[in-house]
């Protein structure tokens, strides 16, 4: 990792500065970084969009976004004004129609390659990426130090992803490209590296000899939230599994990298992705479940079904839920299935990994349990970040027979690290992009490898032409998802 002092100030250029991503996530994250004194004093933030705005109007929009989307604690600070004054002094605005290449020259007036590194954040739809790359290239503002940041959707299949990556590669070299998966900025996802590679109790037990199977659940309460157009063409497999769930899976399954450098980590993750057993037409029905929510109740409130959401395409067969059995064909994981599930409008927001260890071969505590329950390692990624280990313990007492009880060794992050603030995913990643540290970003090969595996499932579904299974909002998904894991004699973690 780079030396802290070596970071240069940036010209952070946000393309699509008035859009949702910029207002809901980027400006908020930047403000919180400002609040924590983590932005280089000379860094500038330049908003670009197609509307004609005075500088002061953009600053006003930024202020409103902060009021709307900041959490309480930082918002109070906004009222105090000092941090806001520092932050607003960094902001400037330029009107550029991103499809008009000659307009990009204006960037020369607001950037300064001699003293600052240009970090171009593409917070717009990918169909504009080509224009932005060409516009930037022609305008003469880019240097070898310049960077570009983009995030999903990087395509909707392997081909479209390659097209985007090719367009970007025609202007930026791979080391200048920072591809975001916001899950990699989450503290708990990063902690997987520490948990696995800094603790010998896990390093020695992390394989098919001791582990029976692993479950990864990313359950969401939210529905489509006005994103119909995007989601209907995308579905939960491409929206969540291709990126976030596969990223978690690679962190759990990869071999120890030789160090924490980006390349070492990317290489190990790619090996896992290459070892994923393909799901094709011949096994897709046994290994996958697609679901779509119908109306139901969430926390006591009635919520509409997927097809009744505002703006819905009532013929839509996009899935809002996916469950999968994934096999990794390598030495470490032979015979250890990974069960993945993710869905919208599920009973609660919960992202967790549960590692089930193997049952012991012989039970000498039959008075307590006919079959000894396996040990479990439960990693809560969100909310209530923490790690639990489920073990069997003797119940204290002077009974003639030893009686056992399931108990938990419980490490809650908020309790254990009371003084440390848990930074949000975007904060971490925006900061790392400004610092120029590529470790937490995705390589082109990783994304394309993930698409290769996902495309095969998507093709198989297409050929089956099956409609998704219905599940009422506020449940844990279709019954078929219970059957998927029950067929192997296992059950989802409650």
Report the catalytic residues: 244
Is 226 a binder of ligand BG6 (CB under 6 A)?
Answer: no
- Which of helix, strand or coil describes residue 53? coil
CB 62 within 8 A of CB 91: yes
> Any contact of residue 34 with ligand BG6 (CB under 6 A)?
no
Q: Which is nearer to ligand BG6, 116 or 341 (CB)?
A: 341
Nearer to ligand BG6, 135 or 235 (CB): 235
Q: Which two tokens stand for residue 66?
A: 């902060």
Task: Indicate the residue among 185 and 436 with the shorter CB distance to ligand BG6.
Answer: 185
In whole angstroms, how close is the CB of 422 to ligand BG6 at the nearest point?
13
CB 12 within 8 A of CB 146: no
CB of 189 to ligand BG6, least distance (A): 10
Least CB distance to ligand BG6 at residue 222 (A): 6
* Bond preceding residue 383 cis, omega within 30 of 0: yes
If one asks whether residue 319 binds ligand BG6 (CB under 6 A), the answer comes out as: no
The size of the interface with ligand BG6 (CB under 6 A), counted in residues, is 3
CB closer to ligand BG6 out of 319 and 327:
319
Site residues for ligand BG6, window 235-254 (CB under 6 A)?
239
Nearer to ligand BG6, 337 or 474 (CB): 474
Nearest distance in Å: CB 385, ligand BG6 = 12
Q: How many CB atoms lie within 10 A of CB 279?
A: 24
How far the first Cα of the chain sits from its last, in Å, is: 39
Nearer to ligand BG6, 220 or 446 (CB): 220
Rounded distance, CA 17 to CA 49, Å?
Answer: 6
Beta strands in 304-448 (DSSP E): 321-326, 338-343, 350-357, 376-382, 386-394, 404-412
Question: If binding is defined by CB under 6 A, does position 220 make contact with ligand BG6?
Answer: yes
Q: Give 59 or 219: the residue with its C-beta nearer to ligand BG6.
A: 219
Indicate the residue among 185 and 305 with the shorter CB distance to ligand BG6: 185
State in angstroms the smallest separation of the CB of 136 from ligand BG6.
26
Structure tokens at 457: 């499932």
Minimal CB distance to ligand BG6: which residue? 239
Q: Are 456 and 282 in contact (CB under 8 A)?
A: no
Asked whether the beta carbons of 47 and 92 are under 8 A apart, the reply is yes
Shortest separation between residue 370's beta carbon and ligand BG6, angstroms: 39
Distance between CA atoms of residues 458 and 462, nearest Å: 6
Residue 304 to residue 283: CA distance in whole angstroms: 33
| Closest among 212, 186, 341, 331 to 272, alpha carbons compared | 331
Q: Which positions from 252 through 311 interact with ligand BG6, judged by CB under 6 A?
A: none
Per residue in 18-42, is it b (16+ CB within 10 Å) or e — as a string? Answer: beebbbebbbbbbbbbbbeeebeee
Provide the token pair at 15. 């393309």
Angle between helices 158-169 and 129-139 (to 10 degrees): 10
Residue 126 Cβ vs ligand BG6, minimum distance, rounded to whole Å: 14
CB of 239 to ligand BG6, least distance (A): 5
Q: Which residues of 124-161 are buried (b: 16+ CB within 10 A; e: fewer)?
A: bebeebbbbbebbeebebbeeebbbbbbbbbbbebeeb
Is residue 222 a contact residue for ligand BG6 (CB under 6 A)? yes
Interface positions with ligand BG6 (CB under 6 A): 220, 222, 239
């Amino acid at each position: 990792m780079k030396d802290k002092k070596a970071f240069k100030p940036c010209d952070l250029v946000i393309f699509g500065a008035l859009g949702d991503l910029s207002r809901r996530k980027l400006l908020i994250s930047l403000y919180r970084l400002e609040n924590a004194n983590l932005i280089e004093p000379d860094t500038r933030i330049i908003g670009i969009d197609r509307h004609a705005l005075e500088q002061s109007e953009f600053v006003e929009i930024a202020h409103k976004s902060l009021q709307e989307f900041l959490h309480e604690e930082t918002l109070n600070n906004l009222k105090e004004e000092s941090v806001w004054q520092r932050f607003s002094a960094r902001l400037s605005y330029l009107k550029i129609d991103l499809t008009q290449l000659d307009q990009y020259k204006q960037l020369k007036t607001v950037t300064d390659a001699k003293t600052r590194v240009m970090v171009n954040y593409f917070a717009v739809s990918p169909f504009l990426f080509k224009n932005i790359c060409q516009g930037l290239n022609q305008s003469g503002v880019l240097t070898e130090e310049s960077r570009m940041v983009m995030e999903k959707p990087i395509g909707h299949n392997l081909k479209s992803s390659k097209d985007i990556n090719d367009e970007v590669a025609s202007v930026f070299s791979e080391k200048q490209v920072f591809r975001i998966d916001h899950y990699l900025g989450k503290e708990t996802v990063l902690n997987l590296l520490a948990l696995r590679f800094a603790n010998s109790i896990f390093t020695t037990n992390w394989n098919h000899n001791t582990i029976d199977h692993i479950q990864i659940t990313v359950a969401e309460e939210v529905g489509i939230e006005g994103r119909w157009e995007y989601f209907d063409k995308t579905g939960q497999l491409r929206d969540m599994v291709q990126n976030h769930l596969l990223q978690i899976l690679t962190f759990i399954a990869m071999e120890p990298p030789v160090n924490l450098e980006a390349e070492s980590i990317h290489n190990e993750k790619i090996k896992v992705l290459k070892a994923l057993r393909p799901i094709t037409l011949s096994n897709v029905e046994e290994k996958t479940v697609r679901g779509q929510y119908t109306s139901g109740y969430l926390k006591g409130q009635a919520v509409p079904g997927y097809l009744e959401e505002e703006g819905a395409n009532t013929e839509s067969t996009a899935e809002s839920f996916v469950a999968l059995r994934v096999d990794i064909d390598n030495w470490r994981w032979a015979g250890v299935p990974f069960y993945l599930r993710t869905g919208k409008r599920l009973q609660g927001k919960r992202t967790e990994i549960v590692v089930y260890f193997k049952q012991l071969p012989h039970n000498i505590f039959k008075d307590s349990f006919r079959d000894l329950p396996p040990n479990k390692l439960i990693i809560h990624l969100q909310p209530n970040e923490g790690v639990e280990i489920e073990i069997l313990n003797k119940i204290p007492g002077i009974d003639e027979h030893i009686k056992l009880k399931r108990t938990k060794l419980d490490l809650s992050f908020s309790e254990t690290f009371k003084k440390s603030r848990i930074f949000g995913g975007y904060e971490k990643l925006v900061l790392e992009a400004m610092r120029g540290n590529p470790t937490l970003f995705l390589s082109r090969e990783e994304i394309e490898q993930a698409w290769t595996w996902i495309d095969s499932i998507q093709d198989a579904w297409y050929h089956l032409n099956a409609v998704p299974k219905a599940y009422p909002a506020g449940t844990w998904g279709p019954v078929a998802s219970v059957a998927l894991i029950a067929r192997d004699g296992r059950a989802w973690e409650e």
